[in-house]
Amino acid sequence: MDQEQHLRVLFKAILDNMTDSIVLINTHHKVVCFNNIIKDNLKLYFGKELNEGDDYRYFVIEPLKPLYLESFEKAVNGETILTERETAAGDVSIWFQYKVNPVYDENKQLLGIALTATNIDDAKRKAIALEETRHEIERKNLALEASENYFRTLIETSLDAIVLMDMEGKVLYQTPSAEKISGYTLQEIQSINGIDVIHPQYRQVDNDDFIKNISIPGNIVSKKHKLRRKDGSYVWIEGTYRNLLHDKNVNAIVLNYANITERETAIHQLKERIKELSTIYQVRNVLQDEGITTDGVLQKIATLLPYGWQYPEICGAKIVFNGKEYLSANYSDSPIKQTAAINLDNGTEGFIDVVYTEDRDGAEPVFLNEEQILIEAVANLITIHFTKTYNQQQLSTSEANLKSLFQSTEVGYLLMDKEFNLLAYNNRMLTGFAEETNIKLSVHGNFIAMLPPERRSEARKTLLQVINDKKSIEYEAQYNYKSDAAFYNINITPVINSNTIIGVCLSAYDITKLKKLEDEKQNLIKDLIQRNRDLEEFTQIMSHSIRGPLSSILGLIDILTDDSSLEDVKFAVNGLRTSSKNLDVVITELINVLNLKDQNNEPKALIELESLVTDVKKHIAQYIDKSDAIITCRFDNVPTITAVKSHVFNIFQQLILNSIKYNNTNSQPLIAITSEHKDGKTVITYTDNSGGIDLEKYKDHVYKLSKKFVSNRDGNNMGLFMIQTLVEMLNGTLDIKSELGIGSCFTIELTHDS
């Protein structure tokens, strides 16, 4: 073996003992020599056999050929190129460092290009893992910083205050909410003694609890007391002290509290209102105790009054009445006082003084507005009580004077007080009117309760009208309790003393014989019938006062002559009774209409439409059954709405009653109610086969109170007016389509939260 061949064998042995894959190629890409590692790798990864003289470009995969050729050219020009990439073979991938460098002889002549592949998989993967770990740590640090900022923002924007204090009670940190509650900045609160901002009433207890708390790690103490603000005012706070001095992350006493001034004020006001109501209740009980003298009544009231005020321990009361004084136990003159006058109609005068006898918490106590209302209410109760007592005494005196007059007249008289308690009556009233009209008279009993049940409601209204108007009422009435009808002229007159109603006098004069002699009737009866018709027109009520029509009816009765027959008079009186009842119904409806706007305090609720209509049908079942009406509902699209339930109930009730009332007489009432969503609103459609309305004629009057659309039917337009008003109160709209003889369709549009 010559020396050159020996060197080649030696060089090959050196290459085979290296851990790197090495191949040497000439400038024409021909393989000059290589070690077994690269030969094995090329066969393993690419399934190709490497031999000397092969064109190495054959072993380079297509995606990497541009890179190979670029590196080759650079190496030919004297550069050394290092690259790293991951090489995959099947399911296995390994990181290699590829080195391309020129090889020179001793004369620095280029012999070829050396390609070296070093397995750096372990180091590379450790480096990648290290980088990923660094990125993860960086990400977590950013997340931790964001979390800390988030929780700091939550704490500093919370309505509850958080304060950190050291074991000496010095404030180390406070949230903005704490500064807002106390008014002190951190620097300001650190410059003062923390215990000084506690209300004097709670300082000692709070200080003792703080000392005890710092001695017990982790201990929590709940506190509620008043805190003095920077402006000198006090606020109620409630919270906890927690000892976290042992916690290295906190090392402080943590005070967490909230401003509960509004709540405490509301509770205090509620308690004051209860005290005030209790005082009024007790005063009323004292006044109603008939076993106590006037002096005893007033002394008891003076004694209990201070307990109705905000600070009873420093409160006193004085009542001056009819020249006498009545004092509570701790009363003394003071400039801090409230006063209310007592003035009776008989000239008796007096007043009530409620005083505060000393300062409270170093300041002058202030009376509540409600306490002024309370003292005036008590003065009013005393005034009412003694006015009533005086009036009763006066009535008793008058009773003796009137007794002889009562017993010697042909007119029956009875006298009652303002509560309609019977005070006196004469024999003529007992044996005449009372016996003829089935009234069981009993002194001191309630006159209304003595009447037959069917007459009580109307009698109460008439008596109240006399008292409220301070005017007499006179009318003629027919009574049929005996075999022969009895006719009486009734006069009800208020008993007035010093412009104050103290009672009512009722007189009854038997005009039965006069009625039987009455001949002249025709003109009066026609006039009475016309007036009754006028009363049935609701338009008259809206254009005139209620008192006007009533006075007209009574005037008709007054001018009846002695010539009217019994039948004519009976007819006229019956007509008067009917008109009065109709008037009462209209007044009730009018009151309901006028009160509609005041009945809007009921809260909204979720309403099941199907259930609500069922309730309406039960409520007016007698009308539905009598008319044989058929009501169908389809609420599948919108089964529920949120609205004032009573309003929706009354809308459905009025619609159904109108449909039945104004239905074609020869057809069965058919009513359909549906609901749907449309343009963001709830649409309720109500259709019926009623007589309909001529909208061309009455288009501008459909919802007016004064309009009547069906001349041959009883009633008025009150129902439609109430429906329209209720829909408007629900912030909705009402539309009507109607055709005479066919029926009507009402469309109600409501917001989803009406």
Q: Is the pLDDT of residue 174 over 70?
A: yes
Query: Assign residue 323 a region: left if phi > 0, alpha if psi is -120 to 50, beta otherwise?
Result: left
What's the pLDDT at 9? 60
Question: Could you tell me the sign of the dihedral formed by the alpha carbons of 167, 168, 173, 177, in that order?
Answer: positive
What's the pLDDT at 534? 36
What's the pLDDT at 616? 92
> Looking at the chain, which residues constitute the CATH 3.30.450.20 domain(s)?
3-119, 158-259, 398-592
Please state, in angstroms and rounded to a whole number, the distance separating the CA atoms of residues 568 and 521.
7
What's the pLDDT at 361? 64
CA angle 680–685–688, rounded 5-degree value: 175
Please name the fold of domain 158-259.
Answer: Beta-Lactamase (3.30.450)
What's the pLDDT at 341? 93
Q: What are phi and psi of 473, to 5 degrees?
A: -125, 130
What's the pLDDT at 539? 47
Please state, in angstroms and rounded to a whole number, the distance separating the CA atoms of residues 541 and 582.
12
Higher-confidence residue: 95 or 365?
A: 95
Q: Is the pLDDT of residue 570 over 50?
A: yes
Look at residues 744, 749, 747, 724 and name the one whose alpha carbon lies nearest to residue 670: 744
Residue 712's pLDDT band (cuts 50, 70, 90): very low
Residue 532's pLDDT band (cuts 50, 70, 90): very low
Here the tokens at position 736 are 């009507």
What is the mean pLDDT of the segment spanning 208-234? Answer: 88
Q: Is the pLDDT of residue 5 over 60?
A: no
Strands 349-356 and 337-343: antiparallel
CB of 50 closer than 8 Å to CB of 34: yes
Q: Is the pLDDT of residue 64 over 90?
A: no
Which residue intervals of 559-608 are DSSP H helices? 566-595
CB of 5 closer than 8 Å to CB of 33: no
Q: Is the pLDDT of residue 702 over 80?
A: no
Please name the fold of domain 3-119.
Answer: Beta-Lactamase (3.30.450)
* Exposure class string for 597-606: b at 16+ Cβ within 10 A, else e: eeeeeeeeee
**How is 286-349 classified by DSSP, letter by letter?**
HHH-TTS-HHHHHHHHHHHGGGGSS-GGGEEEEEEETTEEEE-TT----SSEEEEEEE-TTS-E
Here the tokens at position 554 are 């009574």
Residue 590's pLDDT band (cuts 50, 70, 90): low
User: 73-110, pLDDT tens digit by residue?
Assistant: 999 998 999 998 887 766 778 888 889 999 888 888 88
Which contiguous run of DSSP H or E holds residue 54? none
Cα within 13 Å of Cα(612), Cβ side:
23
Which residue intervals of 22-112 are DSSP H helices? 36-46, 65-76
DSSP 570: H
Highest mean pLDDT among 364-368, 402-406, 627-631 belongs to 627-631
Please state, in angstroms and rounded to a whole number, the distance separating the CA atoms of residues 68 and 57.
8
Q: Is the pLDDT of residue 691 over 80?
A: no
Q: What are phi and psi of 433, to 5 degrees?
A: -60, -50
Percent of the chain scored above 70 by pLDDT? 80
What's the pLDDT at 167? 86
CB of 60 closer than 8 Å to CB of 25: no
What's the pLDDT at 16? 64
* Exposure class string for 519-551: b at 16+ Cβ within 10 A, else e: eebeebbeebeebbeebbebebbeeeeeeebbe
Cα within 13 Å of Cα(251), Cβ side:
3
Radius of gyration over alpha carbons of the chain, in Å?
52
Please name the fold of domain 599-750.
Answer: Heat Shock Protein 90 (3.30.565)
What's the pLDDT at 523? 42
CATH of domain 398-592: 3.30.450.20
> Looking at the chain, which residues constitute the CATH 3.30.565.10 domain(s)?
599-750
Question: In sequence order, what are the beta bridge partners of 317?
Answer: 354
Residue 177's pLDDT band (cuts 50, 70, 90): confident
Report CA 252 to chain centroid distance, whole Å: 43
Please state, in angstroms and rounded to a whole number, the distance separating the CA atoms of residues 493 and 471.
7
Mean pLDDT for the chain overall: 82
Here the tokens at position 494 are 């208020």
Q: Is the pLDDT of residue 654 over 80?
A: yes
Highest mean pLDDT among 58-62, 540-544, 691-695 belongs to 58-62
